[in-house]
Amino acid sequence: MPPLTMPKMGDAMEVGTILKWLKKEGETFQEQEPIAEIQTEKSTIEFPAYNAGRLVKILVQEGETVPVGTPIAEVEPLEERRPRPRAEGRAPRPEARRPEPAPRPEPAEAPVRAGVEPLPPPAPERVKASPLARKVAAERGLDLARIRGTGPGGRILEADVLAALAGAPPTAPPAVPAAAERPLSAMRRVIARRISESKRTVPHFYLTLDVDAELLVAARARYNAAVGEGDRLTINDFVIKACAIALMRHPQMNSQLVGEDRIRTFDAAHIGFAVALPDGLLVPVIRDCQAKSVRQISREAASLAQRARAGALTPAEYSGGTFTVSNLGMYGITLFQAVINPPEAAILAVGAVRDEPVVREGQIVPGKRMALTLSVDHRVVDGAQAAQFLGTVKSLLENPLALME
């Protein structure tokens, strides 16, 4: 029976970590019975047995991380284990041979004493000093061996010689700051690899514009004042709904590059949203956002975010996205550029709503602004198409009642 290997539990999974073995060596298991807990870069999942069998040997210990496809345990089917047959008779014991007496060692000859020449005294260690330091010390008759150098490797510098002449102790070299190292987690390694791959292979370009958020903030406040605590909307809920409508109006933005010569366009808006975690981030996906209300999007986003922070997302809940929204407004960030999440063609970065003066009907009045920055894969989308899409998102957010219908 072939060994168990690290399973691939999602399209983006490259490595997995054995969190816990649920079976010990020698124990049996039934078909589909969980035998191990495996942590991927995005969640923790129980790994079920494909067939009934016995765990013979564990090859990957708890806490170890290995690539997908690596053997993690040796197993055997229950029907293959057979008791060893007993021998019909005992084999005759071989006749014991008496050990031959070891030969007596010959007496060693006395070593011949040779004349030993005394070793010459070691040469004095050369003092490391800069040419200028040597020159100044020679001119002043100063012994460099009595000076402590502060240069690289203890090298004596001119400043050390001058300090010694002045009677001041040389300046001590700067202390090395304390530091600690720790290995990258499985999630951090995947993030590092995918972000590097995106910036290396995807030609990004960026578009930024400001949204007049006055009506958006007011509409959200009115709605939240009329509902319970659990049904309150966020700015991000409106942004996701606006993006879903805009993706249907500009389908080129809802596309992906396939290979090097094909573009695949999707007929539904499956929008991912970034969720920050202590050691990285996850991007749960809300499917068919174009067919859901802002309230439905809000409830689903809250549930997915909670499951993401608990490490309970399934692979289906964080894969298959066609567009991503990343919002750092809750941290006071007003403007940033997000990195595209391959194989998607774009990602929208949402900044904080900021108070600033605006011009309305020729008058300067208090207003609210929010910056949107679109990162776009130039292989799939051109500048004009991206600008039209971003303009549609802006128009929808500035008329939020249309999003609530």
Residue 378 is a catalytic residue: yes
CB 28 within 8 A of CB 71: no
CA pair distance 66, 72, nearest whole angstrom = 9
β-strands 44-48, 71-76 pairing: unpaired
**Token pair belonging to 199:** 């910036």
Structural element, H or E, at residue 390: helix 383-397
Q: Closest Cα to residue 375, out of 238, 179, 205, 258?
A: 205
Q: One-letter amino acid identity for 126?
A: R
Find the catalytic residue in 231, 288, 355, 378: 378
**Locus of tokens 């799939």:** 380
Find the catalytic residue in 231, 279, 288, 382: 382
Buried b (16+ CB within 10 A) or exposed e, 10-40: bebbbbbbbeebebeeeeebeeeeebbbbbb
- Give the residue ranges of DSSP H helices in 68-185: 131-140, 158-165
CA pair distance 261, 86, nearest whole angstrom = 67
Q: Annotated active-site positions, please?
A: 378, 382
